[in-house]
Amino acid sequence: MNARLPAVLLCGLMPFACAQDPGAAATPQEPAAADGAALLKQMLDQFQKEGITYDKATQTVSVTATVNQPPDPIEYLLIHKRGKRHEAVFWTASKPSVLNAALLLLGLEPGTNATYTEKDPPPTMEEIEAGADPLVITPPKGRNFWMTVRWQVPTEQAVVAPGEAQPTKAVEYCVEDLLLDLTTQEPVEDCSWVYLGGRMAQLYKGEPEIYMADAEGNLVSTCYMSPDNHLATMVHERARDDQNWWTTNKLPEPGTEVQFVFHKMEPVLHQEREKRIAALKKARAEAAAKEGGGEQKK
């Protein structure tokens, strides 16, 4: 094995190599030389077994996932099948530590999770009842990454002979287009995503440390969760609220298989979305100004 590889990079492949805190890992480097090439092949083979695709050329990692049908507000964008199914949009059968190894190989760098401190002096009971937050929240920090979701839909107006399969085409959306902000009743805007990397910890005293996401199964959160056992988190002014998120009508039917894609670099799809949102914000501001001017004339 190449000694330069951080131990957490091998977490899903060789559990005995994971007795370190992933937060201490250096920026991952791809293996070099003969032993490194063999290790990389081993890792890629393991990714394939777990339904994970690492694409160096496009700087993406994709994982096979399934559309969930949660009964409760959304707290997680993506979970493992053993995670919190009642409040997640997608679930995957892929092992969290193996997915994390792929994200590290991609070059994602762990940031810091949100932190909470009590206000000093604390707000009065009247202020709290009026909506004041008793905590000072420092949002997560770190280099952004992006996510999209791709799936197949039937081709419109396709004529299919008896016994032939219905032809399909791929559609792809930014994850933000699939997540509804209940405060605005619109797909989420002005958010970003920070990779955390999960952590090693003991489940029980006296036992070896394990990768906690493998035990809990929660992967990408839409609100601020602590401790940071999950792989990544949303950054948003309303991510303090775990009751603020639902799904939009762009999400396919429950049970639909999708490719959930992590992007190291901002994809064109997201760039185009940001342009649309900027135009929409401008139109809103102009409409508000026009309405305000009309009211003043009255």
Range of the domain at 33: 7-266
Q: Is residue 279 part of a domain?
A: no
Rounded Cα gap, residues 143 and 137, in angstroms: 19
Per-residue pLDDT 10s for the chain (298 aa) are 333 344 445 454 443 234 334 444 444 555 556 677 888 888 999 999 999 999 999 999 999 999 999 999 999 999 999 999 999 999 999 999 999 999 999 999 999 999 988 888 888 888 888 878 888 899 999 999 999 999 999 887 666 677 777 788 999 999 999 999 999 999 999 999 999 999 999 988 999 999 999 999 999 999 999 999 999 999 999 999 999 999 999 999 999 999 999 999 999 999 999 999 999 999 989 998 888 766 655 5
Residue 218 is classified by DSSP as E
Q: Is residue 243 part of a domain?
A: yes
Rounded Cα gap, residues 179 and 148, in angstroms: 12
Q: Is residue 63 part of a domain?
A: yes
Q: Is residue 285 part of a domain?
A: no
Handedness of CA 82, 83, 89, 94 (dihedral sign): negative
Q: Is residue 277 part of a domain?
A: no
Angstrom distances, CA of residue 264 to CA of 104, 105, 256: 10, 11, 25
Q: Is residue 224 part of a domain?
A: yes
Instruction: Tally the domains of the chain.
Output: 1
Q: Is residue 291 part of a domain?
A: no
